[in-house]
């Protein structure tokens, strides 16, 4: 009964409210510390005190980080107004200890926060809306995970369902990354400029993603960014918008065993190399495409293609979809859509577009060098 006694003293509840079974529900404990700025606080604990980083979220603009060391786990929360004395308990069954139904407070004022030890992946419902982001706008760049610069391509995140980021490493060279994985439904990395050297769990030695190349990162696959060229630019699309990134301090990459067909949460790893890709007719009249193989690897969850003109534009081309998502990023050239809003919508290199389902519009003009990165959910949804 010793563990039950300790828990009674911690949360100051009557003895008959706590049992050994309730105490056994607890799997891990963290001290929650608020901070005004996350990065310098992390640096202090890691560089000065010898802690290590275990999880960070979200990757594009981190607000929380889990660190561990010296027999304690700490959750750093940026901008939190919580009292410094908060203890976070990860439980198999938070309801057994009160859950969210009541606040647990120790006699000294320490607040007890109960969470699930193995939380499931939450996919927020889609909020369809028109989204236009332009490279020429004074969009704020933020410093995210491993010092990379992020520009948000879907402000509002469609209700939290999707995130799309334009990511840069301006100076190039070695990247201060670690072996890590993401708890996600979907994640695509497309190299738009420069090159980046990466390594993935079970996929052989490190390799280079050059401009035009892409990878599908299936759920929880361990990987690491090693180095990049100066001026690297990639486009990343993920679902849900906010997801956890966990560091794996035990696994060393590359692995000796190569597992090219391994299943990761119902998906397979994909490496698409533009230099060897085949262009074929697109579903869009007057266009051709190179398919990145994402539909097959995800069981139809998503489809990703690069599309370009295959002839002269002789008439206005219908444009739209009836699915969950149609995201398009301009890799080269320019194009104009009419019917999206009152005035024609003109888009150029670095601009991104999300069309809401059911919006009827037409492609009225485009340059011959137009290239679009297109991501569709689902892969088989009607689009034109």
Buried b (16+ CB within 10 A) or exposed e, 98-108: beeeeebeeee
Assess if residue 309 is contained within a domain: yes
Weakest-pLDDT range from 48-52, 209-213, 301-305 = 48-52
Domain check: are 188 and 225 in the same one?
Answer: yes
Residues 294 and 258 reside in one and the same domain: no
Structure tokens at 110: 């320490």
Residue 81 — pLDDT band, cuts 50, 70, 90? low
CA distance 301 to 295: 6
Q: What is the mean pLDDT of residues 71-93?
A: 79
Considering the domain architecture, whether residues 198 and 290 belong to the same structural domain is answered as no
Look at residue 253 in the predicted model and tell me its pLDDT: 97
What's the CATH code of the domain at 191?
2.60.120.10
- Predicted local distance difference test score (pLDDT) of residue 108: 57
Q: Name the band, by pLDDT with cuts 50, 70 and 90, for residue 25.
A: confident
Radius of gyration of the chain (CA): 24
Per-residue pLDDT band for 147 (boundaries 50, 70, 90) equals confident
* Same domain as 240, residue 139: yes
* pLDDT tens figures, 103-141: 577 665 667 788 887 778 899 999 999 999 999 886 788
Q: Can you give the CATH number for the domain in which 47 is found?
A: 3.10.180.10
CB–CB of 215/275 below 8 Å?
no
What is the pLDDT at residue 112? Answer: 76
Residues 30 and 7 in one domain: yes
Question: Is 80 exceeded by the pLDDT of residue 191?
Answer: yes
Within a domain: 181: yes
Question: Is pLDDT above 60 for 10?
Answer: no
Are residues 293 and 227 both part of a single domain? no
The stretch 289-308 carries a mean pLDDT of 97
Residue 357 lies in a domain: yes
**241 and 324 in a common domain:** no
- Which of 51, 83, 116 is the last residue in one of the domains? 116
Q: For the chain, give the percent of residues with pLDDT over 70.
A: 88
141 and 161 in a common domain? yes
The CA distance from 241 to 322, in Å, is 21
- The pLDDT value recorded for residue 6 is 33
pLDDT recorded at residue 103: 59
Q: Judge if 293 and 208 occupy the same domain.
A: no
Residue 252 confidence (pLDDT) above 60:
yes
pLDDT value, residue 305:
97
The more confidently predicted of residues 93 and 178 is 178
Which has more pLDDT, 240 or 101?
A: 240
Regarding whether 267 and 135 lie in a shared domain, the answer is yes
Domain end call among 226, 242, 274: 274
DSSP annotation string for 245-277 = EEE-SS--SS-SS--TT--BTTB--EEE-GGG-
As for how many domains the chain has, the answer is: 3
Look up the pTM and report it: 0.83
Co-location of 105 and 145 in the same domain: no
- The residue written with tokens 């706008």 in the block is 137
Q: Which domain holds residue 167?
A: 131-274
Tokens of 320: 């739209």
Kindly state the average pLDDT of the residues 184-194.
98
């Amino acid at each position: 009964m010793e563990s039950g006694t300790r828990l009674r003293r911690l949360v100051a509840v009557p003895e008959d409210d706590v049992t050994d079974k309730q105490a056994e529900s607890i799997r891990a404990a963290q001290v929650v510390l608020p901070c005004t700025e996350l990065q310098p606080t992390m640096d202090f604990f890691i560089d000065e005190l010898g802690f290590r980083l275990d999880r960070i979220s979200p990757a594009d603009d981190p607000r929380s980080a889990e660190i561990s060391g010296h027999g304690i786990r700490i959750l750093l929360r940026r901008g939190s107004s919580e009292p410094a004395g908060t203890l976070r308990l990860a439980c198999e069954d938070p309801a057994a200890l009160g859950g969210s139904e009541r606040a647990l407070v120790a006699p000294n004022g320490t607040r007890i926060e109960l969470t699930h030890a193995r939380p499931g992946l939450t996919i927020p419902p889609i909020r369809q809306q028109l989204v236009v982001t332009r490279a020429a706008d004074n969009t704020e760049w933020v410093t995210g995970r491993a010092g990379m610069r992020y520009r948000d391509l879907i402000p509002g995140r469609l209700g939290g369902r999707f995130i799309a980021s334009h990511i840069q490493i301006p100076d190039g060279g070695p990247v201060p990354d670690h072996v890590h994985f993401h708890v996600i439904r979907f994640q695509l990395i497309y190299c738009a400029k420069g090159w980046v050297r990466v390594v993935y769990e079970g996929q052989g030695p490190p390799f280079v993603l050059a401009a035009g190349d892409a990878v599908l990162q299936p759920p929880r696959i361990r990987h690491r960014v090693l180095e990049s060229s100066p001026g690297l630019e990639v486009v990343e699309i993920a679902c849900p918008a906010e997801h956890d990134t966990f560091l794996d301090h035990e696994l060393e990459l590359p692995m000796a065993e190569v597992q090219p067909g391994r299943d990761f949460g119902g998906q397979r790893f994909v490496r698409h190399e533009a230099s060897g890709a085949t262009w074929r007719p697109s579903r869009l009249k007057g266009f051709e495409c190179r398919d990145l193989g994402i539909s097959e690897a995800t069981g139809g969850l998503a489809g990703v293609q690069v599309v370009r003109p295959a002839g002269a534009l002789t008439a206005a081309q219908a444009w739209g979809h009836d699915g969950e998502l149609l995201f398009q990023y301009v890799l080269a050239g320019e194009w104009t859509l009419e019917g999206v809003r009152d005035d024609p919508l003109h888009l150029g290199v670095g601009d991104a577009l999300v069309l809401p389902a059911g919006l009827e519009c037409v492609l009225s003009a485009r340059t011959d060098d137009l290239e679009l990165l297109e991501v569709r959910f689902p892969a088989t949804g009607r689009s034109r």
